[in-house]
Chains A and B, each alone.
Chain A
Amino acid sequence: MVLFLARRVGQAALILLGVAAITFVLLYCLPADPAVLIAGRSANPQIVAAIRHELGLDQPLILQFLHYLYGLLHGDFGRSYTEKTEVLPLILARLPATLILMAAGIFVEVVLGLTFGVVAAVLRDGPIDRVIMMLSFVGVSSPQFVVALLLLYVFAATLGWFPMSGFGTPANVVLPAVTLGVLGAGWYARMVRSAMIEVLRQDYVRTAHAKGLRVSRVVMRHALPNAILPIIAMIGIDIGQFMGGVVVVEAVYGWPGIGQLAWQAIQQVDVPIIMGVTLVSALAIVIGNLAADFIAPFVDPRIRAQ
């Protein structure tokens, strides 16, 4: 087990290195020149060249990358081109907002997914099950930005129940979290439903039933715990989905997290910030996958045996 985990951690480190290399090469090949942007329109070619030199952009790609890696190993993510400050503190300052949003999004996703999934499983093949399954498809198929605009239009602009954007109070997080959670809730409802149906079919549950236990008790005591673990593992794997969704949701709601930071940086070719956010996101994904690997043995006894 320990050996297995150690190997996975090693692989994760290699994966991060690969992500860094690929992102670096991709961003390096882009047509825009950050130096021109920084130098402004009062600049002459000499000033642009001087700034390019200051940024180290006049060095060969491989040297630039090694330099960047050397910095990374020392916890240095480089300096933002536009904000002229260290990238890491910029990301760290905005990370809590993103984590709050993600936690709230996962909460929405799990609560909706579990509730609908359990109800659908218990009432399987009935009309309510069909409606729920249809809704889960709608959730999976809805474009996040349209959901965001719709929620804003209905619950903020028209009804005035929630603020349109902003940060700091619990009311602020509701709409963004729902937007982020709807998509996953669709998947989870389907997953929970099928996991539950499988459990409900098993002998011990049938026995419990036969002993005269009430449906709700059977579900809560026996079926649900078995359905929850795969969801937790799934969340780990889904972190990547979330990291992407965060960019769109933060842009629409003006949420001060790393997604918005990334979007602003992309528009200004602020390569160090794009690199930093990509790496932090990749790290989150890798950790999520590791967590899923770690949970897997508890979910499926067959893996534990291996």
Chain B
Amino acid sequence: MPIVTIDGRQVEVEQGTSVIQAADRLGVEIPRFCYHPDLRPEGNCRMCLVDVEGFPKPVVACATPVVDGMVVRTPHESPVASKAVNGVLEFLLVNHPLDCPICDQAGECSLQDFYMHPDYGQHQSHVDPVEKVHKRKRVSLGPRIVLDQERCVMCSRCVRFSEEVSGYAELQFVHRGNHVELTAFEDRALEDPYAGNLADVCPVGALTSRDFRFKRRVWHLSHADSVCAGCSTGCNVRIDHFGGRIERVVPRRNPGVNRSWICDEGRLSFRALVAVPRLMYPRQGATELDWSEAVALSHDSLRAASAAQGRPLAALASASATNESLWLFRQYVLAAFPLHRLAFRLEREIAEVSQRQDNLLRRLDKHPNTMGALHLGFDGGEGLDGLLALAESGAIEGLLMLYYPPLVGEESKETRERITRLLHLVPASVVLTTHELPYLTAAKLLLPVATWSEEEGTYTNYQGLTQHADKAVPSRGAVRPAVEVLGDLWHCATAARRQTRPEEIFREIADSVPVFRDLTYASLESRSATAYPPEGRMHYGQEGFAGR
């Protein structure tokens, strides 16, 4: 395999690797607008010009394949490359509106970042007072995206995304020369269900997210690496939050799962968290309880309803719960209820877990952890419908349920009705859930638990890939992570204390369940998505340029 030297550092790469990919691997930062690891290279921005020994003039790193023995010097080391990139930056400003103070891309604008870079930025600011070519600003392209034509650097990432990735091809350039404009036909609202990615791939403030723009300055945001819980694909995301509020969700690159993309439904799924009032306190009917009361009452009522009668406990945990919650749920049921029915299926999860909803990412199963539930020994056959049949025949009298409403779409009417019926039929019911949902009000005891983004845990996607999601924001009210509540219930059953830190629970899972063997949080982290580009700064990220 060819070995290339970049700024004095060597790396061995596969045949066909481009110089920019090799540099990314080494962590040598090469500025770029048009290059994107998940789009066909086009080489139009000319920002990635590098100096290659033996080549008469600088070449673009994105479209130059590495050959063995190649010696490359980037703008950090080569005055030739630095001058070339500096010249390109100057060109980009000739017709740029210079409206940074009112641009929402500020703080994550590649143009700003590059401009300030000591190795190739900061040209003489000899901005020739040419009459700029003016184009349209604030063009609405539907509910997701706002276009500013003047800020566009014509890198064509969005055009390529819409042609090659989503296939909707709704954005194109028109005209020629310095009159080239990015436009949608007749400014039609974008129909692309992946349109949000257009704002992500845009390196400048030309395409911004209508949902996020002017909400926060990006440098005020905190970040948590997570996994989308909107369906069984398990796209890698980053949750950006401020003051305990989620402001936006953006993709993290994971070539094996979602590449650099997420669907709009997943991107906006955090909205579902606040669309319905949260369940804030443990409750028995209309009476609020404190946690110790609630836990004891829950355990006692379930014990009374099942063990005393010699009837099995119906235990239903939806596959939107983390592996850790599911594991403790199961541990508690096994410890306290020798007779039990352990199910997770609300609908057709198993049939749909791998079924595609489209050709890109979305899957029909809107539960992020169906595979996890199966791996952890939940019964895939007997679902909500099976338990309901049992309840109707009077075979069960106690129900423990861990229920999360879907983040994408709604629970179907049939499922909602079945849940309600089940709760009405069973004399003793304890439901751990997140929201005030009308179809759960028949539960005898309601225990508020943390939602996705409020707790740490792992999900196993349709491929059987277990991925780690970090906690982003705190819970409010008396809400606690399900693992803690289940730990308390387990304590009621066994009188023993147990570890409820997700990482510890996962260790226990790895020790007990063969599929998870040898996995640890640390190993999940190290194989999980990378920020793009690797240093993180040039697009999304919080670190500064690696100081050179």
| Chains A and B belong together in one complex | no
- Residues of A whose CB lies within 8 Å of any CB of B are none
- Residues of B whose CB lies within 8 Å of any CB of A are none
